Amino acid sequence: MLSQFEIKVSGRVQGVGFRAAARRQARSLRLKGWVENLANGSVRAVVSGDSEHCAHFIKWCREGSGYSWVERVDIKEMKPEHLNPFEIIY
């Protein structure tokens, strides 16, 4: 089943390789979408794909990358739409 989520991750998630690690994780799960830094210091990702793979990505976001420190994860389910292969938005 196809699912899509907007995920906002707060904590120490900028400048620590979080976006690159998120891209690797999403691509390994064959998810589509994107990840970007937000002005308030958090990171936002939109992922689309198999429901189970999305759930694994969300779990990964709660743990974060090696140098990150995740304080909060907000998740919003969205209506699935066509997205491109997962990329970092600069």
The catalytic residues are 19, 37
**Sign of the dihedral defined by the CA atoms of residues 83, 87, 88, 90, in that order:** negative
CA distance 70 to 79: 26
The answer to whether 34 touches 45, Cβ cutoff 8 Å, is yes
SS3 44: strand
